[in-house]
Amino acid sequence: MVFDHTDFDQHEQVVFCANPMAGLAAIIAVHDTHRGPALGGCRHWHYTDDAAALTDALRLSRGMSYKAALADLPLGGGKSVILANPAAERARMFEAFGEAVERLGGRYITAEDVGTTTTDMSAIRRATRHVSGVAASEGGRGDPSPATALGVLRGMLAALEARFDSDTLQGRRVAVQGLGSVGFALCHLLHERGARLIVADIAAERVERAVREFGAVAVSVDVIHAVEADVFAPCALGAVLDAVRVPQLACAVVAGAANNQLAHDGIDEALRARGVLYAPDYLINAGGLIKVAGEYLGFPVEEADRRVLAIRERTTEVLLTALREGVPTAQVADRLARARIGRA
């Protein structure tokens, strides 16, 4: 059921899309469009079942509303998930997905997310113009991941400053979980600034590359969250901070790219009680959204770049407010976002 689903947050519209000829089964969740059309990426993933896909779409789309509001973009929040189908012809499936997006008439705008690329966006664009993150060769501004990594770095600097009264990364130990598009780009930025990297990924070749290029120390995916570090940066999938892992953390700051890092209610308070400063995920991982928003809405590249850098100041504001009030940082971010959306 959708209406009594624990992650249903009065979403405006949840659309189930099927095109058997193209092998498409997808869910588009439009959470809120009060601030503007709902922009949010399309995830292509092997879900255990339909229920897991629905949960992901509901949670991710709500996060996008909050992310757009905190980034002060004239956009609402939405997200889509495509249930991976090994039998489908990929370009045809994404084009069929574009047809489903087109039927929403611009209320939902799609872009990349986990498991999708600029090539997939090109296929979608054959059916709709409501797509962003299109390759530069086709008139777009390309993959948003580097902008996400830069925004995460800016958020991390704000958290370091708030925690240690110094934002230097020189010699700081940063544990990066997930070396995909964002995680690897983040490692690059951290390495350039003198950080000591500890890394884990289920893909061995990515780990080997980080060891080779950045002198990173590799650990198993089971322990990356628990290694002694100044910062733990979750850059894989969501729900990594739960009742089991939070007590195992050995870091001062959590600042990473993954969406929905908090597995359930109360985890933000558990982090606060342990003295771990958590930089809210949707606050610091907005760089990619800002970039695709700039492409879709047509504001200048320099303006988008400026907004990505400003993630640092926004993060400082949220963290300092939380520390002053003695409440979890995620609570302050949620409060601010809801007020801006008008869902206070």
Q: Which stretch binds ligand NAD (CB under 6 A): 86-94, 168-176, 198-206, 211-219?
A: 198-206
**177 forms part of the interface with ligand NAD (CB under 6 A):** yes
- For residue 195, give the DSSP letter: P
Decide if 79 is catalytic. yes
Interface characters, 12-41, with ligand NAD (x: CB under 6 A): ------------------------------
**113 forms part of the interface with ligand NAD (CB under 6 A):** yes
**Which of 176, 236, 251, 341 contacts ligand NAD by CB under 6 A?**
236
CA distance 16 to 275: 42
Under rule CB under 6 A, which residues in 208-227 are in contact with ligand NAD? 221
Of residues 185 and 318, the one with the C-beta less far from ligand NAD = 185
Q: Which stretch binds ligand NAD (CB under 6 A): 6-14, 27-35, 80-88, 140-148?
A: 140-148
List 78's β-bridge partners, or say none.
Answer: 30
Q: Which stretch binds ligand NAD (CB under 6 A): 141-149, 159-167, 244-252, 298-306?
A: 141-149
**237 forms part of the interface with ligand NAD (CB under 6 A):** yes
Residue with the CB atom nearest ligand NAD in the bound state: 180
Calculated CA dihedral for residues 151, 157, 158, 163, nearest 10 degrees: 150
State which H helix or E strand residue 208 sits in. Answer: helix 204-214
State which H helix or E strand residue 294 sits in. Answer: helix 287-297
Q: Which stretch binds ligand NAD (CB under 6 A): 6-14, 49-57, 95-103, 253-261?
A: 253-261
Of residues 220 and 326, the one with the C-beta less far from ligand NAD = 220
Interface characters, 142-161, with ligand NAD (x: CB under 6 A): --xx--x-------------
Concatenating the DSSP letter of every residue in 140-187 gives S---SHHHHHHHHHHHHHHHHHHHHS----TT-EEEEE--SHHHHHHH
**179 forms part of the interface with ligand NAD (CB under 6 A):** yes
- φ, ψ of residue 116 to 5 degrees: the values are -130, 155
CA distance 163 to 155: 12
Of residues 114 and 254, the one with the C-beta less far from ligand NAD = 114
Least Å distance, CB 234 to ligand NAD, is 8
Using alpha carbons, list the distances in angstroms from residue 224 to 7, 201, 217: 28, 9, 11
CA distance 223 to 251: 13
Residue 238: other Cβ atoms inside 10 A: 18
**206 forms part of the interface with ligand NAD (CB under 6 A):** yes
Strand positions, DSSP E, the chain: 13-19, 24-32, 38-39, 42-45, 76-83, 108-109, 173-177, 196-200, 217-218, 231-234, 253-254, 277-278
Options 11, 35, 44, 79, the catalytic residue: 79
**Which of 285, 307, 328, 334 contacts ligand NAD by CB under 6 A?**
285
**259 forms part of the interface with ligand NAD (CB under 6 A):** yes
CA distance 107 to 212: 45
Side chain identity at 215, as an amino acid letter? Answer: G
Interface characters, 114-133, with ligand NAD (x: CB under 6 A): x-------------------
CA distance 222 to 232: 14
Binding residues for ligand NAD, rule: CB under 6 A, are 113-114, 144-145, 148, 177-183, 200-203, 206, 221, 235-238, 257-259, 285, 288
So which residues are the catalytic ones?
Answer: 79
